[in-house]
Amino acid sequence: MGQRIRFNAFQMNAASHQSPGLWTHPRDSAHRYTDPQHWVDLAKLLERGVFDGVFLADVLGVYDVFGGNHEAAVRHGVQVPVNDPLALVPLMAQATEHLGFGVTCALTYEHPYPFARRISTLDHLTGGRVGWNIVTGYLDSAARNLGLSNQLGHDARYDLADEYMDVVYKLWEKSWADDAVRRDKATGTFTDPAKVRPIRHAGTHYQVPGIHLCEPSPQRTPVLYQAGTSPRGVAFAARHAECVFISGPTETVLKRYVDTVRGGLVAQGRPADDVLIYAQALVITAPTEAEARAKHRELLEHIDVEASLALLSGWTGVDFSKYDPDAPIEHVDTEAGRTALASFSQTDPSRKWAVGEAARFIGLGGRGPVIVGSASQVADELERWVDATGIDGFNLTYALAHETMRDVVDHVVPELQRRGRYATSYSDGTLREKLFARGPRLGAGHAATRVRI
Amino acid sequence: MGQRIRFNAFQMNAASHQSPGLWTHPRDSAHRYTDPQHWVDLAKLLERGVFDGVFLADVLGVYDVFGGNHEAAVRHGVQVPVNDPLALVPLMAQATEHLGFGVTCALTYEHPYPFARRISTLDHLTGGRVGWNIVTGYLDSAARNLGLSNQLGHDARYDLADEYMDVVYKLWEKSWADDAVRRDKATGTFTDPAKVRPIRHAGTHYQVPGIHLCEPSPQRTPVLYQAGTSPRGVAFAARHAECVFISGPTETVLKRYVDTVRGGLVAQGRPADDVLIYAQALVITAPTEAEARAKHRELLEHIDVEASLALLSGWTGVDFSKYDPDAPIEHVDTEAGRTALASFSQTDPSRKWAVGEAARFIGLGGRGPVIVGSASQVADELERWVDATGIDGFNLTYALAHETMRDVVDHVVPELQRRGRYATSYSDGTLREKLFARGPRLGAGHAATRVRI
């Protein structure tokens, strides 16, 4: 029996996430993203499927690289409109007992002092089921609307991020002692002031002299997720992350990311298996292979090339409106563009790829693989990806909300459980305890617990 | 039959709010503020009592004026620990159908672009039941932790606030046309890009060129609450507010505030009754007068003078640790301090007041009156305050969570209903419709709808 396979659900508080044309499918219900019941239903479904958690993506800007404006993104609903992901956590937590929440918050967009309080609040209200996907932000449009003339450079964002992490670690881990709060009605001592310390942070980017505003929450620091695969991003993840999300179209690409991340951990003095790695994937399944293939064909008809290129342009910073969809990808005259497209063409190097074909690849399921078949076939395939790449599980996207997830929960989860490769129930405790079977808090070796105040 | 009397519940995501020593009472349960069920219970209770809403106070700092440090505030739990109020809204909205939510957010502490999205998200998820209590922030400790060397001056804060309001109004009211979102699966048009406009805001404090990230929510702009009673605060309220919170210990003080606010509205070209005014009050009631008076005596024993002075020092900026609690209030050598204390002494000008006695006044129910008696006596008293001052209702604080609110709902609400002075059910629609029996959106005369982009 192989190692356990883990599932996260990859979602966004928007009508369209990783399969940008699929909202046009008659059975898609993602446009219900403004209805709380949409999220309550999802949370209950995922908990029934013993998912580790729901991972909420976010952008604080629009995909306006394609054509130099927001028109294509707006027309196709490409991650716009997009609502605040944090508001979904209390909702979904109320409807569940165990499901975890990994919320994307770009640290360049909010000051660490109020942010630390927001997360502590959610960790309290969820009984310690909150994770934070640390991103530094990649859309210039977001930076511009925050009054910055443009995004900080990539490495500069990570330098700022390191200081940001120091500030929130000091607030979460060091400001309040475990036994600071007494609630001693007899002496009138709610909190022992000697056990609450100002963090006195005086850095390059932030000055935070005071105490954290929140008493220690079940996890103190939320479970830390990261998704960077650049050298600086990997170094950041190796220092901070407990879980890593990766996305790539082939086993080769994924294995390279996995090796890089695990190598980065070792370089930081952490065990290679100290993080859980989830790879993005889309599973299309049904009771029989024939039905699954029919469903897949039906979904393919809803791919939208322009919408996909708008997404890809935002991810890469390359304006793909300049290229004929029929042009061979070698005609793309920027290296970033060619590299992005070439990675998709590796899924089938036997033929010549055009720009539009690469767009069609990401049009269903984004940058990850699409795995189609009966439960048994999908399970075989998932096991193969895990065993070949060294990932710990999958960050599963949807084509249709919530049908795709329901299919996985109803068909694939029971099959993996029969094979002994998937949890049949949750363990107790906080999200961190469920993931790592250690304590509710970060261990002494982690950067968070080593900060000094 | 007089006009309808309205109730809001004045709460905070903290263990101690307006009656700073009362957490030591055996029956108080406010320390359960980190438990979602605490808030769900409250929301259901208030909806049973047909309250207009729950008003969530907030500070993003500590009360560290008293003694020049945070010790007294921390020891007595004086509004610290304090969690993020916004996280409570999705929770309480899920448990109710009609209750409104007025959330305090200091606009000097978050950039308007992400803030506008946070509020739009909540307005969507609550079906249009969100209000925003606009505050400019009054604690230096908050400003310092955000990296500002100190708070902006009082009037400068309001100038910045006016620009902030322009930005959020543009985002909420002007960026997306009502018919922008099409969700037309046949043509693949999620949103008509011609109906979504960048706001192109280029101001003194903020540069926001882009579009709002959210589609129009039920109310677009949340119901706007304000609490300032300074001349600049009143001018701000007269321009922006739909509801105003005031607090004062006597009818004379309240009537002066009411007249000032209503006069300010007229000066801005708005009808004098264009805002609903809620005055802070604490109601102590029980089935009989004797039981209510006994309960009141019991509560008085839990007042904490030091905790009250810590609160008052934060509100006024005057360090009251420097004065003997037995000193007559005339001995206070700052005008702000004397003025604050003198207003409480007006509740009983027949005797000499000392500093500690003024602290005891605010120690139970803060700056508002404490109304004690049977349901019938309390109803008489509330009617009298409304008729004498011109307020529309009360912002009711609690001494004990949630006993104080339960007593009001069980005893006072039915009594006022019998008298025809309190609603017996909610009307349909958004919070704005429930409050004003007009449409879900702000009217054409409001500053929000007059901004241009």
Q: Is A225 annotated as ligand-binding? A: no
> pLDDT tens digit string along A16-53?
999 999 999 999 999 999 999 999 999 999 999 999 99
**Pick from B46, B57, B76: which is nearest to B367 by CA?**
B57
Best B74, B96, B111, B305 member to test A by mutation, with max A CBs in 10 Å, is B74
| Domain presence at residue B430 | yes
A360 inside domain = no
| Contact check, Cβ <8 Å, A94/B94 | yes
Cβ within 8 Å, pair B26-A111: no
User: What's residue B187's pLDDT?
Assistant: 95
The annotation status of B58 as a binding-site residue, yes or no, is yes
How many CA atoms are closer than 13 Å to the CA of A163, on its beta-carbon side? 15
Q: Which residues of A touch B86 (CB under 8 A)?
A: 86-87, 118
Q: Are B6 and B394 in contact (CB under 8 A)?
A: yes
Residue A75 to residue B36, Cβ atoms within 8 A:
no
Top-confidence residue, B344 or B76:
B76
Q: Taking 70 as the threshold, does the pLDDT of residue A226 lie above it? A: yes
pLDDT over threshold 90, residue B107 = no
Whether the Cβ atoms of residue A397 and residue A281 lie closer than 8 Å to each other: yes
B193 touches chain A (CB under 8 A): yes
A91/B89 touch (CB, cutoff 8 Å), yes or no: no
Question: What percentage of residues in chain B have a pLDDT greater than 70?
Answer: 99
Instruction: Give the CA count within 13 Å in the CB-facing half-sphere of B187.
Output: 9
What tokens were used for B185?
């699966």
Please answer yes or no on whether A210 and B70 come within 8 Å at the CB atom.
Answer: yes
Residue A99 is predicted with a pLDDT of: 98
- Closest-CA distance of chain A to residue B131, Å: 15
Q: Is residue B321 part of a domain?
A: no
Residues 6+ apart with CB under 8 A from A69: none
Dmax of chain A from CA atoms? 79
The residue among B375 and B333 whose pLDDT is bigger is B375
A76 touches chain B (CB under 8 A): yes
CA B152 to CA A219: how far, in whole Å?
A: 35
In chain A, whose CA is at the least distance from the CA of B305? A188
Inter-chain residue contact B124 with A83, CB threshold 8 Å: yes
Cα A401 to Cα A247, A291, A406, B301, distances in angstroms: 20, 18, 9, 57
Torsion angle of alpha carbons B202, B205, B210, B213, nearest 10°? -150
Å from B318 to nearest chain A CA?
Answer: 20
Q: Is B154 annotated as a binding residue?
A: yes
DSSP single-letter state for residue B93:
H
For residue A31, whether the previous peptide bond is cis, meaning omega lies within 30 degrees of 0, is no
Write b or e for each residue in B97-116: b if 16 or more Cβ atoms lie within 10 A of its Cβ, otherwise e. ebbbbbbbbbbbbbbbbbbb
Mean pLDDT, residues B310-330:
93
Token reading at B175: 């960026």
Of the candidates B7, B26, B21, the residue with the CA atom closest to the CA atom of residue B403: B26
* Residue A109 contacts B, CB cutoff 8 Å: yes
B301 inside domain: no
Does A149 have pLDDT greater than 80?
no
- Portion 12-51 of A in contact with B at CB < 8 A: 13, 15-16, 21, 23-26, 31, 34, 36, 40
Average pLDDT over residues B397-422: 98
Tell me, yes or no, if A220 comes closer than 8 A to chain B by beta carbon. Answer: no
Please work out, in degrees rounded to the nearest 5, the angle formed at the alpha carbon of residue B267 by the alpha carbons of B204 and B116. 40
The DSSP string of A247-302 is --SSHHHHHHHHHHHHHHHHHTT--TTSSEEEEEEEEEEESSHHHHHHHHHHHHTT
A392 is in an annotated binding site: no
| Number of domains into which chain B is organized | 1
Mean pLDDT of B7-27: 97
Output the CA angle B33-B62-B236, nearest 5 degrees: 95
Residue A384 lies inside a defined structural domain of this protein = yes
- Report yes or no: A61 and A140 within 8 Å, Cβ to Cβ: yes
Interchain proximity B114–A111, CB inside 8 Å: no
Select the residue of A31, A80, A125 nearest B87 (Cβ to Cβ): A125
- For the stretch B37-47, pLDDT in tens is 999 999 999 99
Has residue A321 been placed in a domain? no
CB-CB neighbours of B420 under 10 Å:
10
Confidence of residue A109 (pLDDT cuts 50, 70, 90): confident
Strands B201-202, B207-208: pairing kind:
antiparallel
Please, are residues B213 and B236 in contact by the beta-carbon 8 Å criterion? Answer: no
Whether residue B372 is contained in a domain is answered as yes
Region class of A384: left (phi > 0), else alpha (psi between -120 and 50), else beta? alpha
Higher-confidence residue: B228 or B287?
B287
Query: pLDDT tens across B276-287, in order?
Result: 999 999 999 999
Q: Is the pLDDT of residue A449 over 60?
A: yes
- pLDDT, residue B137, reads 72
| For B205, nearest residue in chain A (alpha carbons) | A147
What's the confidence (pLDDT) of residue B242? Answer: 97
Tell me what pLDDT residue B151 has. 64
Residue B308 lies in a domain: no
pLDDT above 70 for B169: yes
CATH number assigned to the domain comprising residue A113: 3.20.20.30
Distance CA B239, CA B106 (A): 18
- Is A185 an 8 Å CB contact of chain B? yes
Q: Are B61 and A210 within 8 A, CB to CB?
A: yes
- Residue B298 to residues A190, A344, B292, Cα–Cα distance (Å): 20, 73, 10
Contact B54, B102 (CB under 8 A): yes
pLDDT for the residue B154: 76
Phi, psi of B38 (to 5 degrees): -55, -40
Please provide the average confidence, as pLDDT, over all residues in chain B.
94
- The helix (run of H) or strand (run of E) holding residue A438 is none
Residue A92: its H or E element: helix A88-94
Q: CA-to-CA distance for B83 and B102, rounded, in angstroms? A: 16
**Average pLDDT of the residues of chain A:** 94
Whether the CB of A226 is below 8 Å from some CB of chain B: the reply is no
Handedness of CA A347, A353, A355, A359 (dihedral sign): negative
Q: Is B349 helix (H, G, I), strand (E, B) or coil?
A: coil
Between B196 and B332, residue with greater pLDDT: B196
Q: Would the ipTM clear 0.95, i.e. be above it?
A: yes
Confidence of residue B230 (pLDDT cuts 50, 70, 90): confident
8 Å CB contact between A62 and A80? yes
Q: What's residue A232's pLDDT?
A: 86
Per-residue confidence (pLDDT) for residue B138, from 0 to 100: 67
Q: Which pLDDT does position B150 carry in this prediction?
A: 59
Angle between helices A355-363 and A305-316 (to 10 degrees): 90
- CA A312 to chain B, closest CA, distance in angstroms equals 18
Confidence (pTM): 0.97
Q: Mind telling me how many Å the CA of B226 is from chain A's nearest CA? A: 22
| Residue whose structure tokens are 């929450």 | A217
Q: Is A282 within 8 Å of A398 (Cβ atoms)?
A: yes
Q: Provide mean pLDDT across the span B245-250.
A: 94
Residue A207 belongs to what domain range? 6-288+367-450
Shortest Cα distance, chain B CAs vs residue A433, angstroms: 20
